[in-house]
Homo-oligomer: A and B are copies of this chain.
Amino acid sequence: MFAPAYLDHNATTPPDARVLEAMLPFLTERYGNPSSRHEYGRAARAAIDAARQQVAAAVGAHPTEVVFASCGSEANNLFIKGAAACLKPGTIAVSAIEHPCVREPAADLKRLGWGLHEIAVDAEGRVVAADFSAALAKPAKLVSVMLANNETGVLQDIPALAAQARAARAWFHTDAVQALGKVAIDFRALNAAGVNALTISAHKIYGPKGAAALVLDKRVELKPLISGGGQERNLRSGTENVAAIVGFGAACELATAQLEADAARLAELRGRLEEGLAGPGASIYSRNAPRLPNTTFFTLAGIDGETLVAQLDRAGYAVASGSACSSVSPEPSHTLLAMGVEPGMAKGALRVSLGRANTQEDVARFLQALDETVRKLKGLAAVAA
């Protein structure tokens, strides 16, 4: 089988073999419904309880604060729509660089009569303090700012933002889907600062697709999106995806154990990559801000991102022109536009997100392939001109 080098770990990650091993009993002989009272049901319930402990431990939360959901998008929608349903319409503030699964629920609230404030970011993609204060002054009832951006990898100063939100009596949520496993997360400390909820997902940390969690301060009242049998403290009904939840727990444990080593190694690899990108003259976004250690988002002037992704795919390198979730539309990255990047440059953007299996050789070979591809594309452009 043709197996291109995978350099797109912010889109999804390969499940770790140990994760799959942990899941398999729940896809074979331990198939019970966790709500059943018999042996099969109790074994499934015990497995979910154990996974809840593992997930909670990975983010410094109490197990009873973990609400399992099917994906990060669901968890983000649950917080925004669920909290809004318990409040009278007011203002929701979300940063201009949120994932669509935060921006769209916020837009849904706007259609229901809420005010929507998109918090501006600066040229590096960091929240503009003055605009954040302006949003809170409206006053905002709900605030969501992502911990790490999926495209640039830029990190926000969440404790500082959350402290302001708490002072303004707004619920503060952070989408930590891209941060988990790449930087340390401590919900206890974040919660003390003012964070009321955070979202994490299994498939970004070498776990399976199909499990995510909203880690939730119990003072926040939420209406469920999915009502019914009352699972997950009535916040998320439906038969639990036991195998995926077990895999999420296993992946969390591995992520914690490997966090420091992974982060250091990936930062070093990313450094080599970015040195190499100086050759073809790449503009690297958010380079002067704190970033995830594995992510590089850049533009090579005069080269189209989509074309480059397709050419590199053919050459055996899986990279992205932006987040996978907006890959269906050919629009330039909304993250870059919010940062004030000119649309032509934004359309040229390419994201490389490194992961556990990547090596120095992958990076060296990728740089070579990129160089050849760019030469070819520029050659074509010269012929056409």
Contact with B along A243-284 (1 / 0, CB 8 A): 110000000000000000000000000000000000000000
Across the interface, do B226 and A309 meet the contact criterion of CB distance under 8 Å? no
Cβ of A33: which chain B residues have Cβ within 8 Å of it? 8, 11-12, 203, 324
A49 interfacial contact with B, CB 8 Å = no
A385 interfacial contact with B, CB 8 Å = no
Q: A317's closest neighbor in chain B, by CB?
A: B38
A177 to B12, CA, bound (A): 30
Number of interface residues of A (CB under 8 A): 76
Across the interface, do A8 and B324 meet the contact criterion of CB distance under 8 Å? no
A328 interfacial contact with B, CB 8 Å = yes
Cβ of A325: which chain B residues have Cβ within 8 Å of it? 35, 228-230, 237, 239
Across the interface, do B230 and A328 meet the contact criterion of CB distance under 8 Å? yes
Instruction: Give the shortest distance, in Å, between A233 (CB) and chain B (any CB).
Output: 11
Partner of A324, one of B29, B41, B312, B319: B41
Across the interface, do A229 and B8 meet the contact criterion of CB distance under 8 Å? no
A90 interfacial contact with B, CB 8 Å = no
Across the interface, do A101 and B209 meet the contact criterion of CB distance under 8 Å? no
Contact with B along A56-86 (1 / 0, CB 8 A): 0000000000000011111011000000000
Across the interface, do A209 and B243 meet the contact criterion of CB distance under 8 Å? yes
Partner of A72, one of B3, B238, B327: B238
Given known A11-B35, A28-B14, A313-B39, contact A76–B318 (CB-CB < 8 A): no
Within 8 A of B (CB), among A103-144: 104-105, 107-108
Instruction: Give the shortest distance, in Å, between A27 (CB) and chain B (any CB).
Output: 5
Given known A27-B15, A70-B241, A241-B244, contact A226–B77 (CB-CB < 8 A): yes
Cβ of A36: which chain B residues have Cβ within 8 Å of it? 8, 11-12, 318, 320, 324, 327
